A and B are shown apart, each in its own frame.
Chain A
């Protein structure tokens, strides 16, 4: 299913559904496929970074670069697997893993102080000056990470 044929067989749908741990219904997978084909203009089988950026709402988003890193060049199966983290039925660890990857600016597997500073800069770009962001340098500032446990 790596090649971009516009026919999606029942077998393909089930394979994709299995790959994303049944987090999407078959109807949703079909709809996602239509969207995938719409974004993948040159029918390569994956969506390149600039095809993502051609969606204006995405290009304007402050986190677009971070997401692009994760989603660039994915084939359809992995595209669905990536989006499955946003499903209501996704597990908390899966969601946390995604957020962790978003925060981890230097992709070293750790979210360090600099990573958080980068995220803050991305999200507040125009609204805070660097001086205001220096609040993070205050010694003794504790960053509590709360992970709601159900």
Chain B
């Protein structure tokens, strides 16, 4: 059995070792007899619980006083707040201020003037132009070609890809695509890690995917119900429990259809800050089709693309992107994976998450993204 490694480097803090959460008694070497008194010793477990409440760094030395009734000691309570592995996934990391000296500050001011005064209006122009072209082509195509479905679908696909390219251009998106482009084949699903709604736009500009999304309010919702409908999107409602079966059925139907657009799913279910991946939902992995992973990684030097949906609305987020220098990211289309014999969907999901995390350089974290929206209910806890 492996020993618990208690490393003391700052970086290791990021990798939660699941063995840390088990009572240490259960991991002792079976040296002859397992004593009942060791099993009943609450002190290590108590200390871990107290450490969790207080949010102690796991690499601090913890003193164990021997004996049955002892409570281990929390030495040097060094509070590194919000370091519990769950909060870390959803923290927006504000950029370090670098412009606070006499030389750099004027340069930064100049940068602001350029960004807001020159780049922003140009981008708005580009976007408006794009929308005009798109709407003037889309509406006729949609209405006039009612009878010729195949042609209409093809044109609509091209138009959606076009408007997405305009969007990407409006933030000066520099996207590098690696790997073979997705092809239209039945029985295949695409999965990707999720950082912001713009993930979808970036992927969509290359291939017109059908996507499964949460229905949003406002102008985004309007776009969803009109334009995305034509690409073949599936809606769900996070808060409805019954919804899951209906959605699962719709997914299955879509995947079986030969001339439906390839389906894109974000199995994390929520936006994560592009340093970590949270648990994948198994829904995408039990459809019985090939899963093609896509990894997306943004370069933070230019802008932090993480959309903290609790802090900003999507409109604000887009405006922020449009007043930054550029959105630089890498997209890797990875090798398609199939369910191995004897593998459960959950294991399959984990394996794919592994592939994506390794490619994009993200750390894996064992938490369910939905905990971001609701508190853990008793059924979430180990029992």
**Contact surface of A with B, Cβ cutoff 8 Å:** 28, 31-32, 34-35, 38-39, 50-64, 67, 71, 83, 85-88, 90, 95-96, 98-99, 102-103, 116, 119-120, 123-128, 135-136, 145-148
A147 near B69 (CB under 8 angstroms)? yes
A67 near B40 (CB under 8 angstroms)? no
Minimum distance in angstroms from B376 CB to a CB of chain A: 5
Contacts beyond the supplied A38-B55, A119-B42: 13 A-B pairs with Cβ under 8 Å: A28-B77, A50-B375, A54-B371, A55-B55, A55-B86, A56-B85, A60-B381, A61-B21, A63-B46, A88-B75, A126-B382, A146-B67, A147-B67
In the complex, chain A residues whose CB is within 8 Å of the CB of B63: 88
The residue that B380 contacts in the complex, of A34, A59, A71, A96, with Cβ under 8 A, is A59
Once the chains are docked, how many angstroms separate the CA of A88 from the CA of B25? 22
Q: Is B36 engaged at the interface, CB distance under 8 Å to the other chain?
A: yes
Minimum distance in angstroms from A62 CB to a CB of chain B: 6
B81 near A85 (CB under 8 angstroms)? no
The residue that B84 contacts in the complex, of A51, A57, A95, A145, with Cβ under 8 A, is A57
A32 near B54 (CB under 8 angstroms)? yes
In the A-B complex, list the 5 residue pairs whose CB atoms are closest, starting with the nearest.
Answer: A57-B52, A58-B52, A31-B79, A50-B375, A61-B49
In the complex, chain A residues whose CB is within 8 Å of the CB of B36: 135-136
The residue that A146 contacts in the complex, of B50, B68, B84, with Cβ under 8 A, is B68
Size of the chain B interface, CB-CB below 8 angstroms: 47
A99 near B381 (CB under 8 angstroms)? no
In the complex, chain A residues whose CB is within 8 Å of the CB of B74: 86-88
B42 near A123 (CB under 8 angstroms)? yes
B49 near A99 (CB under 8 angstroms)? no
* Residue on B nearest A133 in the bound complex, by CB: B39
A123 near B40 (CB under 8 angstroms)? yes
In the complex, chain A residues whose CB is within 8 Å of the CB of B85: 56-57
B376 near A61 (CB under 8 angstroms)? no
Could you show 23 A-B contacts with beta carbons less than 8 Å apart? A31-B77, A53-B376, A55-B86, A56-B367, A56-B376, A61-B45, A63-B49, A83-B53, A86-B47, A86-B71, A86-B73, A87-B73, A88-B63, A88-B75, A96-B69, A99-B43, A99-B46, A103-B42, A120-B40, A124-B39, A146-B67, A146-B68, A148-B67
Minimum distance in angstroms from B189 CB to a CB of chain A: 29
B375 near A62 (CB under 8 angstroms)? no
* Residue on A nearest B18 in the bound complex, by CB: A60
B68 near A35 (CB under 8 angstroms)? no
Majority secondary structure, A binding face: helix
Once the chains are docked, how many angstroms separate the CA of A28 from the CA of B309? 33
B53 near A71 (CB under 8 angstroms)? yes
Minimum distance in angstroms from A130 CB to a CB of chain B: 14
Minimum distance in angstroms from A138 CB to a CB of chain B: 11
In the complex, chain B residues whose CB is within 8 Å of the CB of A50: 375-376
The residue that B81 contacts in the complex, of A28, A34, A96, A147, with Cβ under 8 A, is A34
In the complex, chain A residues whose CB is within 8 Å of the CB of B367: 56
Given the known interface contacts A51-B375, A57-B52, the answer about A119 and B40 at a Cβ–Cβ threshold of 8 Å is yes
* Residue on A nearest B23 in the bound complex, by CB: A123
Given the known interface contacts A50-B376, A63-B46, the answer about A83 and B79 at a Cβ–Cβ threshold of 8 Å is no
* Residue on A nearest B66 in the bound complex, by CB: A148
B42 near A83 (CB under 8 angstroms)? no
Q: Is B217 engaged at the interface, CB distance under 8 Å to the other chain?
A: no
* Residue on A nearest B383 in the bound complex, by CB: A125
In the complex, chain B residues whose CB is within 8 Å of the CB of A54: 86, 371, 375-376
Minimum distance in angstroms from A27 CB to a CB of chain B: 9
Minimum distance in angstroms from A142 CB to a CB of chain B: 11
In the complex, chain A residues whose CB is within 8 Å of the CB of B42: 63, 99, 102-103, 119, 123
Q: Is B304 engaged at the interface, CB distance under 8 Å to the other chain?
A: no
B73 near A35 (CB under 8 angstroms)? no
B53 near A52 (CB under 8 angstroms)? yes
Q: Is B82 engaged at the interface, CB distance under 8 Å to the other chain?
A: yes
A124 near B26 (CB under 8 angstroms)? yes
CB-defined interface of B24-37 with A at 8 Å, one 1/0 digit per residue? 01100000000010
B48 near A35 (CB under 8 angstroms)? no
Once the chains are docked, how many angstroms separate the CA of A60 from the CA of B19? 11
Minimum distance in angstroms from B289 CB to a CB of chain A: 32
Once the chains are docked, how many angstroms separate the CA of A117 from the CA of B320? 58
In the complex, chain B residues whose CB is within 8 Å of the CB of A146: 67-69
In the complex, chain B residues whose CB is within 8 Å of the CB of A34: 79, 81
Minimum distance in angstroms from A95 CB to a CB of chain B: 5
- Interface residues in B350-383 (C-beta closer than 8 Å to A): 367, 371, 375-376, 380-383
In the complex, chain A residues whose CB is within 8 Å of the CB of B8: none
Minimum distance in angstroms from A8 CB to a CB of chain B: 14
* Residue on A nearest B43 in the bound complex, by CB: A99
Given the known interface contacts A35-B81, A86-B71, A124-B39, the answer about A64 and B381 at a Cβ–Cβ threshold of 8 Å is yes
B40 near A116 (CB under 8 angstroms)? yes
The residue that A55 contacts in the complex, of B45, B53, B65, B79, with Cβ under 8 A, is B53
